[in-house]
Each structure stands twice: as structure tokens, then as C-alpha cells.
A = this chain, B = another copy of it.
């Protein structure tokens, strides 16, 4: 995959879509502090922009937060655009230090249109113990279809974070993975769905944590988990 290095080499329709997605991704970053998933500059949201001329997805781009900029200063213009190798294609700032992990996910999971990473407190607390969150709430069965799994310990610098995310999520119905000693990454059909998964991941991490502080939560039978998950994914919300 040798993607062109500047935006002018991409189709006009894609450039227009990027302008729209810059606003979507910038606005969604405001949800992270609103739901208390991040402090200071931590956390990032990205969304894929498909390339209509290259159906295999290898020439897609994605819009992501710039590195080390505080949430109050984020604007659509300050967002950056990268190709699926994580190389900067458009933007006046450096991309988030987690860009390589986002890029790996988009390269290997073509159905994923949005990725979110946070250090949200309760999810990160489970991640620090390397312990999956058991599925003991009906809302967890609805949204995650089972436990929230743990990914391997991996540090920044090569593909090991991205690979850990992808390998863990491929074996799970969960759109969230707790990377060990690090924090959650979530995926979705678009950035908004990935933000919702990040919000719900922290919510179930907190509720199950608190429940376990005073005893053991009661398990939900697998057939009920399956039934709840199936119904929620197919029926819930407005058509």
C-alpha cells in the first residue's frame, strides 16, 4: 500500500467528505470530557473516510485529533488527516500519538468506520489488573453481547497496540477492548458509534466494579445474553 502523500491526489468527493468529517470528529471530542472519559489532552476520536475509487479500502483516509492539544482548542480545522499507514496527508499539526493504532484498526477491520481511545477511570482500573468485565448487567448484554475483553500489554512505537486491539476484538462481540495497563479502545460503524461504545464501556466498568465491591454479582445465563444482544442489535432505536 503506497498511498499518495497529499490530499490533492484523492478524489474530489473524498475531499468534500473530509471537510464534513473534520466537523463531526471535532464535535465528538467534546463528548469525551462531557462524559468524564478524559482529562487534559488524553483521548482521541477518529473516523474513516472511504475512497470510492479503491474498493478494497487500502486508499482510505481517516480524520483524527492532533497531538497534545487541549479540548477547548479543538476545531474542525485543527483536525488532521492520515492515510492507513498513519502518515500525515493533511493538517498543520502532528497527528495524535495513538495514530498508528487507529490506522492498524482501519487497515485490518474494513467494517470499522470509527475508533475511540480514552483512559476512562473505571475501564482503565480493570485494564490495570488485566481483568475482563463480566457480563452481569442486561445493558451489557445489549451493548457488548458478553464480557468486555482484555488485550495484551503493548507499548507505543510499532504495530503492537493495533495488533492487540484487532486480535482481541476479532474473538469477541464487544466493540470495546481493555488494553492491559493502558485503557480502553472502542470501535463502531462510525465515530459516533465508537464514542457511544466508549461511554457505555465506562458505564458498565463502573457499575460492575461498584457491584463487586460488596459481593459477587449474579451471572446472567448465556442464552439470555444471546437473546438480549440479538434483540438490541436488530430492534432497538429508530429505524
Contacts and interface: CB of A to CB of B under 8 A. Distances in A.
A39 interface: yes
A209 B210 contact: yes
Contact of A121 (B128, B210, B236): B210
Contact of A39 (B93, B153, B199, B236): B199
B211 A213 contact: no
A218 B35 contact: no
A146 to B, nearest CB: 14
A39 B137 CA distance: 15
A42 interface: yes
A231 interface: yes
A206 to B, nearest CB: 6
Contact of A238 (B69, B121, B126, B182): B69
Contacts of A40: 196, 199-200
A105 interface: no
Interface stretch (A4-12, A55-63, A220-228): A220-228
Given A40-B196, A138-B182, A216-B129, A239 B94 contact: yes
A212 to B, nearest CB: 6
A231 B208 CA distance: 35
Interface string A118-140: 01011011101111000011110
Contacts of A42: 139
A207 interface: yes
Contacts of A50: none
A217 B67 contact: no
Given A66-B238, A215-B129, A224-B155, A182 B137 contact: yes
A13 interface: no
A1 interface: no
B214 A212 contact: yes
A218 B126 CA distance: 10
Contact of A209 (B138, B180, B213): B213
A97 interface: yes
B209 A122 contact: no
Interface of A: 35, 39-42, 66-69, 93-94, 97, 119, 121-122, 124-126, 128-131, 136-139, 153, 155-157, 180-183, 196, 199-200, 203, 206-218, 220, 224, 227-228, 231, 235-239
